[in-house]
A and B are shown apart, each in its own frame.
Chain A
Amino acid sequence: AQTVTQSQPEMSVQEAETVTLSCTYDTSESDYYLFWYKQPPSRQMILVIRQEAYKQQNATENRFSVNFQKAAKSFSLKISDSQLGDAAMYFCAQACPQTGANNLFFGTGTRLTVIP
């Protein structure tokens, strides 16, 4: 069974600074995808960034980047130049391809506060 662990229930960062959110996972599969989702107070789940396990290069989306360490089963999210709008719950998730559907396993989330 897959498990996803986020060991930081809460984090805070000064506006314009950089923050890193941690995530580790456990799977016996060789083919899988990793995701970070953002959930603002509106509760909508918004995809932030995605990483395919077979790709060695770390994914980057504007101010968001990941540090994917496959051997260590670690997938951290770095937010650069933090903005007030980045304040939200951040969920790390993992999915393995299955025939017809995919089961997305979520961590317990990290609440990020951005301090003006």
Chain B
Amino acid sequence: DTAVSQTPKYLVTQMGNDKSIKCEQNLGHDTMYWYKQDSKKFLKIMFSYNNKELIINETVPNRFSPKSPDKAHLNLHINSLELGDSAVYFCASSDETWDLTIYFGEGSWLTVV
């Protein structure tokens, strides 16, 4: 029973397309995140939502838009995909009332061709 699940795991798409990655957590956490891991394996936060409210919004192109319909879901929509968007995108969640441990999903490997 996966705690943080994201779909799809693999996505190959052409430049200029629009795509979405979905994420769901069943841990009852209030906070969810999107992290990006580039080709050099460097991980960096993109967005964070707490109870559907945007908390962290790092400097990312506005082609990236997160959406949180409820506190258990955080989706990432990407418009007009570019070659440089190719990366692994990780969804994660944490419980602010307990500890700071962030639990990650399995990642979604996006390849833009």
Q: Which residues of A contact B (CB under 8 A)?
A: 33, 35, 37, 39, 42-47, 50, 89, 91, 95, 97-104, 106, 108-109
Contacts and interface: CB of A to CB of B under 8 A. Distances in A.
Dominant secondary structure of chain A at its interface with chain B? strand
A10 B31 CA distance: 33
Contacts of B48: 100-103
A63 B53 CA distance: 39
Category for how many chain B residues contact A: 20 to 34
A101 B56 contact: yes
Q: Is the interface of B mostly helix, strand, loop or mixed?
A: strand
B94 interface: yes
Given A100-B55, A103-B48, A104-B45, A33 B31 contact: no
Given A43-B106, A44-B107, A101 B50 contact: yes
Given A43-B109, A44-B106, A45-B104, A101 B31 contact: yes
Contacts of A35: 101-102
A37 B48 CA distance: 19
